[in-house]
Amino acid sequence: MTVRVLGIETSCDETAASVVEDGVRVASNVIATQHDLHETYAGVVPEIASRAHLERILPVIRQALAEADTTLDGLDAIAVGHRPGLIGSLLVGVSAAKALAWALDLPVLGVDHVAAHLYAGQLESPPVAYPALGLVVSGGHTSLFDVADPLRMTVIGRTIDDAIGEAYDKAATMLDLGYPGGPLVDALAATGNDRAHRFPVANLGADRLDFSFSGLKTSLLYAVRGQPRGRGAAATFERDASALDASEKADFAASFQRAAVRAIVRNVRRALDTREVRTLLVGGGVSANSRLRSELTELAVEAGLDLRLPRMEYCLDNAAMIAGLGTVRLRAGERDDWSLAASPNSLVAS
């Protein structure tokens, strides 16, 4: 008998709903983005995000049900991303999920957004062989995990400052490219010389699997704008990105991307050198990056691993990964009660 779960995702600036069957077949995957609302600010404004979720959550759920050719009565459970994220945004999704579950007398299942990113590579794909090494690369997280199964994982490395996705957004701002920065920097980098500038790759020690991107951001800032005059908010710079031509911007983007991806791949390689795993799971918005996908593919072939990169539509925040992992919880006999709450913190990535 088919198990049909509705997933709801509102952790940041995407309002998403999805119907997933048996944990892997995506019957619908609806995402309402807010990029146009936040572009002016070059980043997500929490108050604007939560208000937009309130306006869009019910239409998005209705569309997901329609595209899946089902109704509320055809569901077996409601899964919702309830941590981590912007608390106001999360509250919209959690409230909607609990209300639906209560009205329909269905189980409600809270899902950790970070763990769901690691599940995204299993959607529309064969079962994963465990144990696995997990990598989440997004705007809020850059973390490595030992993964025993979809519900059991231990963090073994994390960023000590900025997430890689945040670094990409800042790089795009420095180069005057727009928002969101990741896809824009990636596209521009494809036309540049990645050895035009030498940017640092932070090395926190051969025995550590943590990441750091603050030094890379600062190096790019000084390379683009020159050394600062003054300190703090009063600092001024010699120039800005408007002084660069298209070729120069492309070289900066390519050189930045080379350093950022090297930092990720180096730590993945280090982790693989010290553990026996069968699969490399990758998730998060930055898993859509062309260079990262290419270099991880080469590494997986070299190591003889099954690499699970999500399809492009499941790299960014989506509700299909929430519904999929919710199905795993449901089949394990788990469910949450009505005290299920939104939380800004991840249980698996902390």
* Domain CATH number, residue 8: 3.30.420.40
Regions of the chain where pLDDT drops below 50: none
Query: Looking at the structure, do residues 270 and 168 belong to the same domain, yes or no?
Result: yes
Q: Confirm whether 90 is domain-assigned.
A: yes
Same-domain check for residues 154 and 238: yes
Distance separating the N- and C-terminal Cα atoms of the chain: 37
Look-up: residue for tokens 């795009």? Answer: 172
Same domain? For 319 and 305 the reply is: no
197: left (phi over 0), alpha (psi -120 to 50) or beta: beta
How buried is 302 (Cβ within 10 angstroms: 0-12 exposed, 13-18 middle, 19+ buried)?
exposed
For residues 149 and 298, membership in a common domain is answered with yes
Indicate left, alpha or beta for 85 from its phi (over 0: left) and psi (-120 to 50: alpha).
left
- Asked if residue 344 is part of any domain, the answer here is no
Q: What is the pLDDT of residue 56?
A: 96
Is 336 part of a structural domain of the chain? Answer: no
> Of the candidates 84, 9, 14, which has an alpha carbon nearest to the alpha carbon of residue 49?
14
Number of Cβ within 10 Å of residue 235's Cβ equals 11
Please give the Cα distance from 318 to 81 (Å, whole number).
Answer: 10
136-193, pLDDT tens digit by residue?
A: 999 999 999 999 999 999 999 999 999 999 999 999 999 999 988 999 999 999 999 9
Q: Check whether residue 55 and residue 116 sit in a common domain.
A: yes
Encoded tokens for 186: 């990636």
Residue located via tokens 């509250």: 91
Say if residue 180 is in the same domain as residue 297: yes
pLDDT (0 to 100) of residue 243: 81
Q: Are 216 and 301 in the same domain?
A: yes
In a domain, 338, yes or no: no
Whether 295 and 171 share a structural domain: yes
Would you say residue 348 lies in a domain? no
pLDDT score for 203: 84
**Residue 214: per-residue pLDDT:** 95
207 token code pair: 């025995």
Determine the structural domain holding residue 274 and report its residue range: 132-310
Same domain for 143 and 284, yes or no, is yes
Whether the upstream peptide bond of residue 131 has omega within 30° of 0, thus cis, is: yes
Main-chain phi, psi angles of 72, to 5 degrees = -60, -35
Same domain for 139 and 110?
A: no
* pLDDT given for residue 335 in this prediction: 96
Q: Which pTM does this prediction carry?
A: 0.94
Q: Is residue 98 part of a domain?
A: yes
Phi, psi dihedrals of residue 81, rounded to the nearest 5°: -70, 115
Q: What pLDDT score was predicted for residue 349?
A: 82
| pLDDT confidence of residue 232 | 64
Determine, yes or no, domain membership for 341: no
Shared domain check, 80 and 186: no
Query: What integer pLDDT is reported at residue 135 of this predicted model?
Result: 99
Residue 109: inside a domain, yes or no? yes
Distance from C-alpha of 79 to C-alpha of 51, rounded to nearest angstrom: 21
Residue 39: what pLDDT?
76
Name the domain count of the chain. Answer: 2
Q: Are residues 236 and 180 in the same domain?
A: yes
Q: What would the two tokens of residue 278 be?
A: 């069968």
Output the CA torsion 205→208→211→215 (10° steps): -20
Contact 211, 158 (CB under 8 A): yes
